[in-house]
Amino acid sequence: MKSGAAKDVTGASVEAVLTSVVRDEAGRLTAALVRLLGDFALAEDLVQDAVVTALEHWPVDGLPTDPTAWLLATARRRAIDHWRRQRNYEEKLALLVRDGPSPEHADEVDDRLRLIFTCCHPALSREAQLALTLRAVIGLTTREIARGFLMTETAIAQRIVRAKRKIVEAGIPYRVPDPDRLTERLNEVLGVVYLVFNEGYLATVGASPDRRDLADDAEWLARLIMRLLPDQPEAAGLLALIRLHRARWATRFDSRGQVVLLRDQDRALWDREAIARASALVLQALRTARPGPYQVQAAIAACHAEAPSWQQTDWRQILLLYDQLLRFTPTAVVRLNRAIALAEGVGPAEAVVEVNSLEPALSGYHLFHATRGELLRRLGRPQEARLADERALELTTNPGERLLLEERLAGST
Binding residues for another protein, per CB under 8 A? Answer: 121, 123, 169-173, 177, 181
Q: Minimum Å distance from CB 181 to another protein?
A: 8
Cα(279)–Cα(301) distance, rounded to whole angstroms? Answer: 9
What secondary structure letter does DSSP report for 204?
P
Three-class SS state of 373? helix
Rounded Cα distance, 408 and 390, in Å: 10
Smallest distance, another protein to C-beta of residue 311, A: 49
By beta-carbon proximity to another protein, the closer residue of 29 and 172 is: 172
CA distances from 109 to 176, 200, 310 (A): 10, 27, 42
Q: 121 or 304, CB closer to another protein?
A: 121
What's the closest the beta carbon of residue 336 comes to another protein, in angstroms? 31
Q: Which neighbouring-strand residues pair with 253?
A: 259
- Residue 259 pairs in a beta bridge with 253
Q: Which is nearer to another protein, 77 or 185 (CB)?
A: 185
What single-letter amino acid sits at 341?
A: A
- Give the Cα separation of 86 and 54 in Å (integer): 27
Which of 177/200 has CB closer to another protein? 177
Which lies closer to another protein via its Cβ, residue 23 or residue 121?
A: 121
Question: Shortest gap between Cβ of 173 and another protein (angstroms)?
Answer: 4
7 vs 175 by CB, closer to another protein: 175
C-beta closer to another protein: residue 171 or 230: 171
CA distance 303 to 287: 17
Helix (H, G, I), strand (E, B) or coil at 380: coil
Nearest distance from residue 86's CB to another protein, in Å?
Answer: 16
**Which is nearer to another protein, 115 or 259 (by Cβ)?**
115
Contact 285, 254 (CB under 8 A): no
Q: Which of 265, 226, 273 is nearest to 249 (CA)?
A: 265
Chain centroid to Cα 185, Å, comes to 17
Asked if residue 215 lies in contact with residue 200, where contact means CB atoms within 8 angstroms, the answer is yes
Cβ burial, residue 94 (10 Å; 0-12/13-18/19+):
exposed
Residue 176 DSSP code: P
Min CB(123)–another protein separation in Å? 6
d(CA 10, CA 50): 25
CB 375 within 8 A of CB 355: yes
| CB nearer to another protein: pick between 102 and 183 | 183
Q: What is the DSSP letter of 100?
A: -
Which of residues 181 and 227 has its CB atom nearest to another protein in the complex?
181
Q: Give me the least distance between CB of 290 and another protein, in Å please.
A: 24
Q: How far is the CB of 170 from another protein (least distance, A)?
A: 5
Integer-rounded Cα Rg, in Å, for the chain is 24
Which residues, at least 6 apart from 177, have a Cβ–Cβ distance to it below 8 Å?
117, 184, 185
Residue 177 beta carbon to another protein: minimum distance, rounded to whole angstroms: 7
Q: How far is the CB of 347 from another protein (least distance, A)?
A: 45
